[in-house]
Amino acid sequence: MAPIGKMLVMVGGIIVVVGIVLMYFDKVPYIGKLPGDISLKKGNFMFYFPLTTSVLLSILLSLVFWVIHYLKGK
């Protein structure tokens, strides 16, 4: 049971850090306004899909998880 406890504490710490970052840095420059992000406006209708931002965040998170997995295997 000890490994599960450690994992829960780590996940909780990550959630706290992400929460603090979102509270104090709610306007991160360039995120959501990259070339390739889709934004359509017609009258009262607005559609927004951050395609490029999603791809970049996916790549970044994949690299972070790969590094964590690599370091955990050593």
**Is pLDDT of 72 > 70?**
yes
Domain count, the chain: 1
pLDDT tens digits, residue range 8-57? 888 898 889 888 877 877 666 666 778 888 989 999 999 988 899 899 98
In the block, residue with structure tokens 């009262």: 44
pTM, rounded to two decimals: 0.58
| pLDDT at site 26 | 66
DSSP 8-state class, residue 52 = H
Contact criterion met (CB below 8 Å) for 41 and 22 = no
DSSP 8-state class, residue 34 = S
At 6, which amino acid appears?
K
**Is pLDDT of 59 > 90?**
yes
Which residues form the domain of 52? 2-73
| pLDDT at site 73 | 78
